[in-house]
Amino acid sequence: MTPEFSRLLPVAQIGMTEASRSIEATPEECALVAARLGLSGLTAFTATFRIARQAGGDEYLAQGRIHARALRTCVVSLEDFTERSDLSFTIRFVTEEASEDEALEAPYDYEDGPDEVLYDNDTLDLGEAAVQEYALSLNPYPRKPGAKMPDLGQEGTGAFDVLRNLTRRN
């Protein structure tokens, strides 16, 4: 299955020094990523990468930034609003074999290191890695700036009092 936003980088292009790449999603790719992530819309999505080969040769460390502009629905007011994201990230690209070997060596050691992204066929997918990092950063309960809970004329302080007031209004 091909990801919605795929930008492939053969590891041979990285060489022994650092490689830099900038990627940008097309409007069509933004729409597909928005659908995948459950967003009302995604009007812009770009990422920059600095990638370096790690000791041993099969691992690559990528650092970069993601800039995105998403249309979100506020959980309080149910209004759509634009949410801008500017986040930095660090990713470690590893082969499936290296990831399995590491899990066998320390199966319960969950240190707070960079996120791991698997790669195969000597090709890193920068687009898919950026989408995964962005997905991890999304607030599951987006709130429009300044949004406030509506005053429901609460007589009491308990949840049942609030519900009783709601049923009186409907």
Is 39 contained in some domain? yes
Is 2 contained in some domain? no
Task: Give the mean pLDDT of 87-106.
Answer: 73
Average pLDDT, the chain: 85
Domains in the chain: how many in total?
Answer: 1
Is 69 contained in some domain? yes
Is 74 contained in some domain? yes
Cα–Cα nearest to 41, from 82, 96, 102, 12: 82
Q: Domain range spanning residue 114?
A: 8-169
Residue ranges of E strands in the chain: 8-10, 19-24, 41-53, 60-73, 80-95, 115-119, 123-125
Residue 48, pLDDT above cutoff 90: yes
Is 84 contained in some domain? yes
Is 132 contained in some domain? yes
Residue 169, pLDDT above cutoff 80: no
When pLDDT is cut at 50, 70 and 90, the band that residue 96 belongs to is confident
Give CA separation, 165 vs 77, 148, 154, 169, in Å. Answer: 18, 18, 7, 7
pTM for this one?
0.79
Q: Are strands 80-95 and 115-119 parallel, antiparallel or unpaired?
A: parallel
Is 1 contained in some domain? no
Q: Region of 57 please: left (phi>0), alpha (psi -120 to 50) or beta.
A: left
69, β-bridge pairs: 44, 84
When pLDDT is cut at 50, 70 and 90, the band that residue 55 belongs to is confident
Q: Are 153 and 161 in contact (CB under 8 A)?
A: no
